[in-house]
Amino acid sequence: MIAIIDYGAGNIKSLQFALTKAGLESQLTNDQDTIRQSDGIILPGVGAFHDAMTALRDLGIAGTLQEEAANGKALLGICLGMQLLYDKSFEDGEWDGLKLLHGEAGRIDDSVKVPHMGWNTLAHHNKSTLLQGIPENSYVYFVHSYAIKSYNPDELISSTDYGGKVPAIVQKNNLIGMQFHPEKSGGTGLQLLQNFGGLAS
C-alpha cells in the first residue's frame, strides 16, 4: 500500500485515481502508524512551501517522514512535495525543508512566463529504474513557480528546459522527487508511478 500524505495540500483525488489505474493500492492518510506500515510514501504538494512545512510539523508527520526515509522506505515527492525534501526554499522568505536531500528551491527565472504551466520534455542524465519505459523527450505536465536551484548533479535523473535547466526527476537511493505532476502526465506519468511502485514493493 502506498501512503499518500494528507496535510491539506489541495485536490489529490487525481493522484489516487492514477495510482489505481497504475495497479497500485493507495490510502490518503495523516496517521503516523498507517504511514509506518505502508510499502511506500507519496508526498504531494500544491501551495506555499512554508504553509506545507508548518502543516507537516503540526501534524507530527515531518519527523515520521524523516524516520521512514532513513529506514530506506521509498518516498516520492511531487511538485511542491519534491521541494519539501530539500534543505530550504526561498519562497516568500527563507524556510527550512525536510533536509532529506541537499539543495535549495528558488523562483523560476523571470526570462520565461511564471508560473510554468504546460507540457515539457524530459532530458535524461543519470540511469535509474524509474526511467524504465520512459524514452528521452517524453512529455510531462508542469505547474509551478519555484524549482530546485542547487542540487547534487549525481542525483539528477531528468531535467527540462524552462528558463534554464530545471530538475524534473531526482533520486537518491529511496528518495525521489518529480517536479511535474505524473498523475496529469498521461501514459508517461502512469509508467513513472508504476516504476515507483516497483521500488516500493
Which residues have a catalytic role annotated?
Answer: 79, 181, 183
**152-167 as b/e: b if 16+ CB within 10 A:** eeebbbbbbebeeebb
Check if the beta carbon of residue 100 is closer than 8 Å to that of residue 69: yes
Q: Which of 189, 112, 103, 113 is CA-nearest to residue 149? A: 103
Check if the beta carbon of residue 151 is closer than 8 Å to that of residue 103: yes
Sole residue written with cell 535509474:
128
AA letter at 33: D
Q: Calculate the alpha carbon distances from 149 to 24, 94, 127, 201 in Å.
A: 32, 14, 21, 31
